[in-house]
Structure 1
Amino acid sequence: MGLRGKTLAARLRRAGRMLPKRLRAEGQYLVEAERKLAHPRLATQVDAARVEKAFGALEEHLKSIDAADRRRSRLIHWLAGLVFNLLILGALVLIVLRWQGVI
């Protein structure tokens, strides 16, 4: 997704709503598991199967994202907004010219 951040928690924060709600929850579980695994006594509370499931779900979703398609889509939306604004500007110019009696 092109997100920057030193830790998984920072990257998930930046991802925000770009991830589906279920995957955000899986990501939060991974962050909690990472925090618990850093402590020897809390490491026993981490469910390895759940960690694998969460990691697999996030990995599958991220592999399905086509970066080129996202860039192309962003460019098309930007151009569409620009064309729409130019149409509104042209209409306003015509209205003002008509009002002034030039046309």
Structure 2
Amino acid sequence: MLDQKDLETKAREMQRGLQTKLGVQGRDVSHALARAGRRLPARVRREGRVFAQAAFMARNPKMARRLEGATVQSAYDRVMEHLAGIDVAERRKDRWMGLAANVAFNLMCVAVAFITFLWWRGYV
């Protein structure tokens, strides 16, 4: 069975992982997961909600007895496994490449529109 200190430690680790890998901050793990939103796949969000609910329930001794240790541990493991698989440098590179592609496409559209305008006016 998981105790309150163990769940608090794991919640802090998960919150720290969300902050380092996704840049998400929150006052607790449930808030950080909510702020991560669609940056996490649906199954990972679902497992994160299970763990956040368990961390909340562990604060109350009567509610803590209702927790299933295996379910909470597997939810924690799945979320942390997904966070471990995220490459921050690759995500940063992909973001810059997407921005560069967007700018190049927009410049190409403006150039085509300009050449079309020149052709329409008879200058080309």
Normalising by the smaller structure, the TM-score range is: over 0.9
Higher relative contact order (CA 8 A, sep 6+): 2
- Residue 99 of structure 1, CA deviation: 1.3
Could you list the runs of 5+ residues in structure 1 that have no partner in the other structure?
Answer: none
Q: Quick one: distance in 2 between partners of 1:35 and 1:60?
A: 22
Aligned match of 1:85: 106
Matches within 5 A, 1:50-65: 50-65=71-86
Q: For 1:20 and 1:90, how far apart are their aligned partners in 2?
A: 39
In structure 2, what is the Cα distance between the partners aligned to 1:88 and 1:19? 33
* Residue pairs, 1:22-33, within 5 angstroms: 22-33=43-54
Give, in whole Å, the separation in 1 of the partners of 2:53 and 2:31.
13
Please tell me the residue identity of whatever aligns with 1:56. Answer: D
Higher mean C-alpha deviation, range 20-29 or range 80-89: 20-29
The TM-score normalised by the length of structure 2 is 0.79
In the alignment of these two chains, the number of paired residues is 103
RMSD: 0.9
4+ runs deviating over 4 angstroms: none
Deviations 1:16-60 (A, max 9, x none): 122111111111111111111111111100111111111111111
Distance in 2, matches of 1:38 and 1:79, equals 48
The match for 2:97 is 76
Q: TM-score, normalised by structure 1?
A: 0.95
